[in-house]
Structures are given as C-alpha cells and as structure tokens.
C-alpha cells in the first residue's frame, strides 16, 4: 500500500486486508487458531519459513495484524504489537528488554500502575530504578549510567497535572548513554505527539483511551522497530499471554478511522473550556498546556502543536467543594477513563492516586481540590455551562 498517505487516509485504510469475500468492513477473525492445508505447511509455519501466516491467536491474528499495521503507519514506526491492555503494553515493553543488573531512569510523575511496575515489579527481579523530575533535564543527565542504563521511561504528558517531558532533549540524553527511550504517549495522543520523530525508540499506548474513544474495550499497543517488536517484544508477549483479542482489535481498528477528527474536536473544546475556567474566582490553578499561562506552553506547542484533550483545575475549598462541584454536573460524568466521547471528571486524590502517601500527592500537585477533566465530543458551550453550574453549587 502507498506509504505517502496523509494521516486521515492512513487511519481509514492502512492495514486493511480482505478475505475471498471482499467484505467492505474489516472482518473479525474470531478464531483461536488456523487450519493448515498439510502437515508440511504446519511445520513450515512453526519454522516461520512460510511468510506472514498465522498459527495461534496468542501469537497473532488477521484482525489484530490489521490494527498493528494501521497504528505502526500512524506512529511512523516499522512495526507494532497489540496487547490486552495498556498495562500489558507498558509491562511488555519494559520487562521484555530488561534483565537483572540493568538500570532504568524514569520520570516520577506516573500513572499508578506504571509506578507499580517500576517500583515493585522490576526491582524484584534485580533491575535498578532511579526516579527523576521529568521536566528537569539536569536530573535526567545526572541519573544516567552509561552502559548500565538500558531504558528511560516517562509519560510525555503526566497524569493528572499535565506536565510535559521534552521528548527530544531526554532522547538525546538517553541515547548518549546508550539507553532506549520508552514513552507512554497516552495523554499526548497519537495525533498530537509523533514521539518517534523526536527521538523516542518505543512508544506505548493504552488504546482504552483515545484510540477506542468510546469507552468500550481495554487494549494497548507497543510500537517500535521490527527488530525490537519481533525479536524482543513478540517472544515475551506470545509466551506470557498478553495479546489483544481479535474482537478488541476490530473495535480499535474502527476507533482509528475517526481518531484524528475526534482528537482535534476534543482539543478545540478543551481550549475553550480552559479559557472559560481561567480567571474564575472560585478556582485556583487551571492547568492546560494550550493556555499561555501553562509554564511549558511553548514546549507544548513545539511538541504537540496543541494543548491536548485534558484539563486539570483546582476548586477552592478542598475536597468538599470539589465533590460538591462534580456531584452537581449533569453532562460530564464522574469516572476515571479519559479520551472518551463523553466528558469525564475525576477526583485524582481519592481515586486514581488514592494509594499514594499524602506527601507524595502534595509533591505531585495532587491537592484535595484538584479535578481532572477529560474533554469529550459534546458542544463546548454545554460543557462550560455544566461546569459553571457545578461551581455555583460547590
Ligand atoms: C490508562 C493508562 C494506562 C493503563 O492502560 P489500561 O488500558 O487501563 O491498562 C497506562 N498509562 C497511562 C498514562 C494511562 O492513562
């Protein structure tokens, strides 16, 4: 297929395969395995001498392969491996490449389960982990141990306080020390952040978020070079069982067709909502990288060309006021997903980040009044009215 397609064409057509029936919509190959015409053919497939043929759904499936080819083309990586969830992708990318004695440098502000993998799981198997402030390049430089540091890991935009990591600069620092750069790009979305062009080696997503975009299924994906995906990731994933199901792959394929349109519409609304909230006397900080008041606004524009689809803001009056505000919302739902068509309000301190000790919450800016808002596809004016109603009652 043509490789010079623009993004929206890639998102609709790339990776499509048709069976002998010529179906228009991508087929769901809801099968655990495949029938071999002969014993010789079975042998050849296991020896991998028989081209791009399938063996068993844990190893690969035509519907999943369509999704992997589509997202690899979007990311600009050679290949991709789809996983059962975002966490299977983060774990698969890191655990498949690391061994006892290796060192990892990671940003401190991470999604709770990512933090658990780095702090609790990798260290159990003899991998050393150093945490740094993601926005402080000097800390990244100081933490590198050339030859021993095998990977750096960070979320390109942190949850929930929307702090960016400078992908280009951190990649240069990591590569100088011989480390691979693994980026969890969920908050930046595949539309706004082409991490690979900025130097990242491996990009992971929870496809549960913007890629599905309609809150239907858990999924994840690891994008990288053919060498890394097929020699490092695939053996680990296929033997440990974290592959994406064919049905989920079909959902993700269809989600991708509208991904660019949805992310741009959501980001346009997010800017309007953030502008409407900024300066409201009932609020403390309004954090949105698309506002010039965001300390990394210039980096956000250079790295993403957008402020993205997420906002965080602090209601004066702490937890009680924040609870009153989100309880009064009528359109925006209280939940913890993001990137969904439906706008979602989350109170990180008592839900997604509840597990963290108070001191760590404070250090990460997760205050009792902080609300995280995932802006959906509703009309921005309706969302602003809903938030104002919530704040009136806070
Ligand atoms: C949601 C999320 C994950 C985990 O993804 P699941 O699909 O829930 O397993 C990982 N990283 C970030 C930044 C996320 O937002």
Domains and CATH numbers, the chain: 7-256 (3.40.640.10), 260-392 (3.90.1150.10)
Q: Which two tokens stand for residue 363?
A: 């250090």
Specify whether the CB–CB gap between 274 and 288 falls below 8 A: yes
Which ligand 1 atom lies nearest to the CA of residue 159? Answer: 13
Digit-coded pLDDT (tens) for 203-229: 999 999 999 999 999 999 999 999 999
Ligand 1 neighbours by CB, cut-off 6 Å: 85-87, 90, 111, 113-114, 155, 159, 184, 186-187, 206, 208-209, 218, 220
In angstroms, what is the span from residue 118 Cα to ligand 1's centroid? Answer: 14
Mean pLDDT of 308-316: 98
Which residue's alpha carbon is at the smallest distance from atom 11 of ligand 1? 111
- Measure the CA–CA gap between 267 and 113, rounded to whole angstroms: 26
Mean pLDDT of the chain: 95
Mean pLDDT of 154-177: 96
Taking alpha carbons only, the member of 97, 66, 69 closest to residue 201 is 97
Which ligand 1 atom lies nearest to the CA of residue 338? Answer: 15
Mean pLDDT of 333-357: 95
Which residue's alpha carbon is at the smallest distance from atom 15 of ligand 1? 186
**pLDDT of amino acid 394:** 80
Digit-coded pLDDT (tens) for 274-310: 999 999 999 999 999 999 999 999 999 999 999 999 9
- pTM for this structure? 0.96
Give the dihedral of Cα atoms 2, 6, 10, 11; nearest 10 deg.
-170
- Measure the CA–CA gap between 150 and 144, rounded to whole angstroms: 9
Mean pLDDT of 77-106: 98
DSSP tag of 141? H
**pLDDT of amino acid 1:** 45
Specify whether the CB–CB gap between 198 and 219 falls below 8 A: no
Digit-coded pLDDT (tens) for 226-254: 999 999 999 999 999 999 999 999 999 99
Q: Which residues contact 304 (CB under 8 A, 6 or more apart)?
A: 188, 192, 193, 289
**pLDDT of amino acid 4:** 86
In angstroms, what is the span from residue 111 Cα to ligand 1's centroid? Answer: 7
Higher pLDDT, 126 or 50: 126
Site to probe by mutation for ligand 1, drawn from 91, 208, 218, 335 as the one with most ligand atoms within 8 Å of Cβ, is: 208
**pLDDT of amino acid 50:** 67
- Measure the CA–CA gap between 173 and 178, rounded to whole angstroms: 9
Q: Which residues contact 353 (CB under 8 A, 6 or more apart)?
A: 112, 160, 361, 364, 366
- Measure the CA–CA gap between 63 and 256, rounded to whole angstroms: 14
Beta bridge partners of 373: 311, 345
Which ligand 1 atom lies nearest to the CA of residue 90? Answer: 10
Which ligand 1 atom lies nearest to the CA of residue 337? Answer: 1
């Amino acid at each position: 297929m043509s490789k010079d397609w623009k993004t929206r064409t890639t998102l609709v057509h790339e990776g499509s395969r048709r069976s002998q029936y010529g179906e228009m919509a991508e087929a769901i190959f809801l099968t655990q395995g495949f029938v071999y015409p002969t014993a010789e053919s079975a042998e050849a497939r296991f020896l991998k001498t028989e081209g791009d043929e399938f063996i068993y759904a844990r190893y690969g499936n035509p519907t999943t392969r369509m999704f992997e080819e589509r997202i690899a083309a979007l990311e600009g990586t050679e290949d991709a491996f789809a996983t059962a969830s975002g966490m299977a992708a983060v774990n698969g990318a890191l655990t498949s490449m690391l061994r006892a004695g290796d060192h990892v440098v990671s940003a401190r502000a991470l999604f709770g389960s990512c933090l658990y993998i780095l702090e609790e799981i990798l260290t159990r198997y003899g991998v050393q982990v150093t945490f740094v402030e993601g926005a402080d390049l000097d800390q990244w430089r100081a933490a590198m141990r050339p030859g021993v540091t095998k990977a750096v890991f960070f979320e390109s935009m942190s949850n929930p306080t929307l702090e960016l990591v400078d992908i280009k600069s951190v990649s240069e620092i990591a590569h100088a020390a011989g480390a691979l750069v693994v980026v969890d790009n969920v908050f930046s979305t595949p539309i706004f952040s082409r991490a690979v062009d900025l130097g990242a080696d491996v990009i992971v997503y929870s496809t549960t978020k913007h890629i599905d975009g309609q809150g239907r299924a858990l999924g994840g994906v690891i994008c990288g070079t053919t060498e890394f995906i097929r020699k490092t990731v695939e053996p680990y994933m296929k033997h440990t069982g974290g592959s994406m199901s064919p049905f989920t792959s079909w959902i993700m394929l269809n989600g991708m067709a509208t991904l660019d349109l949805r992310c741009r519409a959501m980001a346009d609304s997010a800017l309007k909502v953030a502008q409407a909230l900024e300066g409201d006397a009932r609020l403390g900080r309004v954090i949105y990288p698309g506002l010039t008041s965001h300390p990394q606004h210039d980096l956000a524009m250079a790295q993403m060309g957008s402020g993205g689809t997420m906002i965080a803001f602090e209601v004066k009056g702490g937890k009680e006021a924040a609870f009153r505000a989100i309880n009064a919302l009528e359109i925006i739902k209280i939940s913890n997903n993001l990137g969904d068509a439906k706008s979602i309000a989350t109170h990180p301190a008592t839900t997604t980040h509840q597990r963290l000790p108070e001191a760590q919450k404070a250090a990460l800016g997760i205050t009792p009044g902080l609300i995280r808002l995932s802006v959906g596809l509703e009309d921005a004016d309706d969302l602003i009215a809903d938030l104002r109603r919530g704040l009136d009652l806070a």
